Amino acid sequence: MMRRAKISVIGAGNIGGECARSIAMKELGDVVLVDIAIKDKPELHMPKGKALDLSCCGPVEKFDAKIVGTFDYADTANSDVVVITAGLPRKPGMSRDDLVQINAGIVKGVAEQVAKSSPNAIIIVVSNPLDAMVYVAWKASGFPAHRVMGQAGALDVARYKTFLAWELGVSVEDVQGMLLGGHGDDMVPLPNRTSVNGIPVKELLSAEKINACVERAKAGGGEVVKLMGTSAWYAPSAGTVEMVEAIVRDKKRVIACAAYCEDEYGVAPGAKGKGYFVGVPCVLGSKGVERIIGFKLDGEEQKYMDISISHVKELVGVTTKLYPELG
């Protein structure tokens, strides 16, 4: 009998809980949901409670998966994939940059624990500011770069496709598109490579309407924060689980995610071992990021990509000042 994949989700909040639910429902593997105790309510065990609640969905949703909730990283031992959602969520008025000082320390500690308990795992980072947090997880874990990645493009592209589909009055399934660069405000749109069932979107919408969809996708996370008072969780977890599925089922899916780049897209040409994690199209399979798909950007696209890369470098610079050992 084939061994079932073991997938640990670090952070049992909204995104972590929804990731665990989707992973179980898709029967991608057994799930370990990890969080820390609530200081002023030591009698509560939130991850264990969520795991119990999710387990009882099995008979209704017709899935078989073992779901464990825990405070102890020992329960995550020998995970195949580890999803890191831990960290402070965005609040109204906060930018992703505002989160770096708090979340860098959290992600660093989590990645060190993951390296001890699951040295052969593939890490997917969801914590913000995403591009910098993936870098932190890479350095703190000591894992090879192809086994560390960030969920960003999968979410950003989903928002981009959604807004285009609404504008066009077509199914989201027929919109094909790609975004590069940093997560959120720093994403680099590619309208020239966007189509609707093969028809270039520029033949269907005006430049103004396409740009409006791009801008809304960039600000999509902030729009949700303003409406709900906290970060989104349904779409981020859907994008994350899409990546988990590609890995555990070795699907070789082409998904935009924050992957380690040096020469690719002009991120850090010739700087061996000194690259950065930015959103690029990747082939995801059982080995993690198995290949970065490169293509030539036009002048305007490269200009925006360069700006996005510079912002990623700035954020990483902030983290390495806080934690020089990550440099």
Q: Which residues are known catalytic residues?
A: 183
Distance CA 234, CA 13 (A): 12
Query: What is residue 88's DSSP assignment?
Result: P
Backbone angle region of 51, left / alpha / beta, with phi > 0 → left and psi within -120 to 50 → alpha? alpha
Beta pairing class for 30-34 and 67-70: parallel
Task: Name residue, tokens 């899916």.
Answer: 253
Query: DSSP code of 191?
Result: G
Phi-psi region of 27 (alpha: psi -120 to 50; beta: other; left: phi over 0): left
Per DSSP bridges, beta strands 187-189 and 199-200 are unpaired
Dihedral, CA of residue 125, residue 128, residue 131 and residue 132, to nearest 10? -100
Place of tokens 């954020």: 315
Please choose, from the candidates 97, 124, 127, 123, the residue with its C-alpha nearest in 3D space to the C-alpha of residue 316: 97
